[in-house]
């Protein structure tokens, strides 16, 4: 079969070594509920890179704590998050893969204690809260 799956591809100034792309998938693994990268994330993403994905997009990462889908979501709302994300990036790059990240705000679908914020104050459904 003639396939280009394993051939490099260039988008502007970024070249992926193949066309295998891992889509963002929430791992709900910030066990301390602080949005910080844990050893799980490092092992999880490095494993995918070692498996030769060309591009790995990190899971939905909250730009503010009230915008998390769950309290265990990855975060990128504070400088404290830089170090862990940098480590994940380095481990991905070490295998020749490129990395991306999905910036996220769950809005009405935030499932957290306290206030949540969304463009609409209408709850997503009866299981979700009213947003500010």
Ligand X SMILES: Cc1cc2nc3c(=O)[nH]c(=O)nc-3n(C[C@H](O)[C@H](O)[C@H](O)COP(=O)(O)O)c2cc1C
Contact residues for ligand X, defined by CB under 6 A: 23-26, 59-60, 102
Structure tokens at 17: 């070594």
- In the complex with ligand X, which residue's Cβ is closer, 20 or 26? 26
Query: To the nearest whole angstrom, how small is the minimum distance from the Cβ of residue 24 to ligand X?
Result: 4
- In the complex with ligand X, which residue's Cβ is closer, 60 or 92? 60
Query: To the nearest whole angstrom, how small is the minimum distance from the Cβ of residue 75 to ligand X?
Result: 13
Q: What angle (nearest 5°) sits at the alpha carbon of residue 107, between those of residues 104 and 109?
A: 100
Query: To the nearest whole angstrom, how small is the minimum distance from the Cβ of residue 25 to ligand X?
Result: 3
In contact, 103 and 93? CB cutoff 8 Å? no
DSSP state at residue 131: P
- In the complex with ligand X, which residue's Cβ is closer, 60 or 118? 60
The C-alpha atoms of residue 128 and residue 15 are separated, in whole angstroms, by 42
Residue with tokens 């400088």: 79
């Amino acid at each position: 079969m003639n396939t280009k799956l394993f051939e490099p591809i260039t988008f502007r100034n970024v070249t992926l070594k193949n066309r295998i792309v891992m889509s963002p998938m929430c791992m709900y693994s910030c066990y301390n509920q602080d949005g910080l990268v844990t050893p799980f994330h490092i092992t999880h993403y490095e494993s995918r890179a070692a498996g030769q994905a060309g591009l790995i997009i990190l899971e939905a990462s909250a730009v503010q704590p009230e915008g998390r889908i769950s309290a265990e979501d990855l975060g990128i709302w504070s400088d404290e998050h830089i170090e862990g994300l940098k480590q994940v990036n380095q481990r991905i790059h070490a295998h020749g893969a490129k990395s991306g990240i999905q910036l996220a705000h769950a809005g009405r679908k935030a499932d957290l204690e306290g206030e949540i914020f969304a463009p609409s104050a209408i709850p997503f459904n009866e299981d979700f809260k009213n947003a500010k």
